């Protein structure tokens, strides 16, 4: 090599080495760094913008997670103590856990691999597939969400982030790419993963603590403040209404009559809950007792007392009532089987048969999804009924036309796939009616339900 070239090259090498020593490894590309925090940054997965408005909603696709895997997501936050909500749906329940890390914590992992995360997602209730974390910060912040397997088998999960404080420009943001399910004619096999809709309704933030209500200038009567006390001595437990108006019902379902309606800020004494922890039994200040949807209050505890209510009056069967076939917005009573819980198994439905399923909805305008794979295409349909209507149908009191609140919609891109999505303010029990349709002969189908609004199946 020319001697004149050797000296400049040597000088450049020395300067480069000195720069690395002086400025540290943070200037190296992510893949060249071997610290724990640097590895997390290098593994960041893309999120999709699924909605905007008062809240920006970011979501992942449904993804698979093996026992030895970890997925990492990042989102940027503008600060201002604006509420952040991170929630995840996992199948099966408790198979996946997510952790929240700040940028400083991730950097600190390089010096202390045992550093703890800022927070860990907590299940809404025992056995629930839905876990959540809520928080905020006064300052702008970069957050990382790590998703880790919590079992010895592969699991499925859907991660969502919602906040009015999310930065408008997110790193690695992309457009949703639905995951197409795999249709198979066998009665056993892997459960298909649903396509994710291109928009989700933002979930309103919910206070995470009991907040004293300040007196208004026009009122001379001070509003009572909630004084925090140790949990062990907290008696009675209090909950505060967080929506403009909340119905107090005679039982834990919208099938029960409304006793009264109370405004936002009303303090309720919690007497107990239903088994699924979706409804609270409460007492008002005037002594009135009833049930309210838990998710429409700021009560996030699990009340130790489980109460049951008298079932709503059963409808009286009317002799001679028969169902009449009608257009798409209606269902037809074919038979009266016993409802089953949704489980996603492949089943066979024959000509003239009707299959029933049921699920508990949490309320609070949380989205819930029901989808069905059918082979052959258009061989079966499904409709969604509220509890009152379904019980009337099953009791033989169906009117000539039974209006459904929802119906599986065909996917023009993926034949043999029906999808329904909705959200409601109050918790309730819903029924799914699957009917054979089209040409005579057996039809194979698999029906599923998922989403943060889904609770555990209704006990039979």
Per residue in 387-432, pLDDT tens?
878 877 777 766 655 678 888 888 666 677 888 888 888 888 888 9
Label residues 161-180 b or e (16+ Cβ within 10 Å = b): bbbbbbbeebeeeeebebee
Range with the poorest average pLDDT among 132-146, 215-229, 334-348, 359-373:
215-229
What CA–CA distance (Å, rounded) separates 88 from 96? 9
Residue identified by tokens 């907040």 is 211
Does the pLDDT at position 318 exceed 80? no
Range with the poorest average pLDDT among 8-12, 232-236, 312-316, 418-422:
232-236
- Write the CA distances from 28 to 36, 38, 152, 171, integer angstroms: 15, 10, 36, 19
Query: 21 by DSSP, 3-state: which?
Result: helix
Q: What is the pLDDT at residue 32?
A: 39
Q: What is the pLDDT at residue 338?
A: 67
Q: Over range 50-66, report the average pLDDT.
A: 74
Q: Over range 246-272, report the average pLDDT.
A: 90
% residues pLDDT > 70 (the chain): 67
Q: Over range 433-454, report the average pLDDT.
A: 85
Burial class (CB in 10 A: 0-12, 13-18, 19+), 136: middle
Does the pLDDT at position 17 exceed 50? no
Residue identified by tokens 């794979």 is 373
Q: What is the pLDDT of residues 159-204, one digit of tens each?
A: 888 888 888 888 877 654 444 333 333 334 444 445 544 454 555 5
Question: Whole-number mean pLDDT of the chain?
Answer: 75
Q: What is the pLDDT at residue 232?
A: 35
Query: pLDDT: is 455 or 378 the higher one?
Result: 378
Taking residue 246's Cβ as centre, other Cβ atoms within 10 Å add up to 22
Q: What is the pLDDT at residue 144?
A: 95
Q: What is the pLDDT at residue 220?
A: 45
Q: Set out the domains of the chain in order of their start, with CATH numbers.
A: 30-163 (2.60.120.380), 239-313 (2.30.30.40), 330-450 (2.60.120.380)
Taking residue 387's Cβ as centre, other Cβ atoms within 10 Å add up to 19
What CA–CA distance (Å, rounded) separates 81 from 86? 15
Check if the beta carbon of residue 241 is closer than 8 Å to that of residue 257. no
Does the pLDDT at position 325 exceed 50? no
pTM of the predicted model, to two decimals? 0.48
Q: Over range 52-69, report the average pLDDT.
A: 78
Q: What is the pLDDT at residue 327?
A: 41
Q: What is the pLDDT of residues 136-147, one digit of tens each?
A: 899 999 999 999
Q: What is the pLDDT at residue 302?
A: 83
- Identify the helix (H) or strand (E) that includes residue 421: strand 417-422
Q: What is the pLDDT at residue 42?
A: 85
Q: Over range 296-315, report the average pLDDT.
A: 81
% residues pLDDT > 90 (the chain): 19
Highest mean pLDDT range out of 45-49, 195-199, 441-445, 454-458?
Answer: 441-445
Q: Over range 18-38, report the average pLDDT.
A: 51
Highest mean pLDDT range out of 62-76, 350-364, 409-423?
Answer: 62-76
Does the pLDDT at position 30 exceed 60? no
∠ CA 7-9-12, nearest 5°, is 110
Query: pLDDT: is 258 or 173 the higher one?
Result: 258
What CA–CA distance (Å, rounded) separates 437 from 241? 45
Does the pLDDT at position 218 exceed 50? no
Which segments of 211-335 does DSSP mark as H helices, in order? Answer: none
Q: What is the pLDDT at residue 321?
A: 47
Q: Over range 267-281, report the average pLDDT.
A: 90
Residue 459 — pLDDT band, cuts 50, 70, 90?
Answer: very low
- Count of residues making up the chain: 460
Q: Over range 228-236, report the average pLDDT.
A: 39
Query: pLDDT: is 11 or 302 the higher one?
Result: 302
Does the pLDDT at position 14 exceed 60? no
Q: What is the pLDDT at residue 175?
A: 53
Query: pLDDT: is 459 or 72 the higher one?
Result: 72
């Amino acid at each position: 090599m020319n001697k004149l070239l050797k000296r400049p090259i040597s000088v450049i090498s020395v300067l480069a080495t000195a720069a690395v020593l002086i400025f540290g490894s943070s200037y190296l590309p992510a893949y060249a760094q071997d610290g724990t925090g640097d590895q997390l940054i290098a593994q960041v997965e893309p999120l999709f913008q699924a909605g905007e408005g008062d809240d920006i909603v970011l979501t992942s696709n449904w993804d698979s997670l093996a026992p030895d895997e970890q997925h990492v997501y990042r989102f940027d936050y503008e600060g201002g103590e604006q509420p952040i909500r991170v929630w995840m749906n996992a199948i099966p329940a408790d198979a996946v856990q997510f952790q929240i890390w700040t940028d400083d914590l991730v950097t600190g992992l390089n010096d202390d691999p045992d550093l703890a995360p800022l927070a860990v997602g907590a299940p809404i209730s025992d056995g629930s597939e839905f876990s959540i974390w809520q928080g905020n910060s006064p300052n702008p912040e970069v957050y990382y969400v790590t998703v880790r397997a919590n079992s010895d088998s592969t699991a499925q999960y859907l991660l969502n982030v919602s906040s009015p404080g999310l930065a408008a420009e997110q790193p690695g943001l992309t457009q949703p790419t639905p995951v197409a399910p795999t249709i198979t004619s066998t009665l056993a096999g892997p459960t298909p993963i649903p396509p994710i809709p291109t928009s989700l309704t933002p979930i309103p933030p919910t206070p995470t603590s009991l907040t004293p209500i300040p007196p208004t200038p026009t009122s001379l009567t001070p509003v009572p403040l909630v004084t925090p006390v140790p949990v062990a001595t907290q008696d009675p437990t209090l909950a505060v209404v967080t929506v403009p108006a909340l119905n107090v019902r005679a039982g834990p379902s919208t099938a029960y009559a409304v006793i009264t309606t109370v405004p936002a800020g009303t303090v309720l004494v919690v007497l107990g809950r239903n088994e699924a922890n979706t409804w609270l039994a409460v007492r008002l200040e005037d002594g009135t007792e009833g049930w309210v949807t838990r998710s429409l209050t700021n009560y996030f505890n699990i009340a130790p007392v489980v109460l049951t209510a008298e079932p709503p009056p059963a409808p009286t069967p009317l002799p001679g009532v028969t169902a009449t076939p009608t257009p798409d917005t209606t269902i037809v009573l074919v038979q009266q089987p016993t409802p089953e819980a949704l489980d996603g198994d492949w089943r066979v439905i024959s000509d003239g048969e009707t299959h029933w399923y049921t699920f508990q909805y949490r309320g609070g305008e949380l989205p819930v999804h029901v989808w069905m794979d059918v082979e052959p295409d258009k061989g079966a349909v499904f409709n969604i009924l509220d509890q009152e209507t379904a019980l009337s149908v099953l009791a033989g009191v169906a009117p000539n036309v039974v209006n459904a609140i929802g119906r599986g919609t065909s996917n023009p891109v993926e034949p043999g796939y029906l999808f329904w999505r909705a959200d409601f303010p109050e918790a309730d029990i819903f029924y799914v009616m699957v009917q054979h349709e089209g040409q005579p002969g057996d039809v194979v189908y698999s029906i599923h339900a998922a989403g943060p609004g889904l609770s555990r199946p209704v006990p039979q």
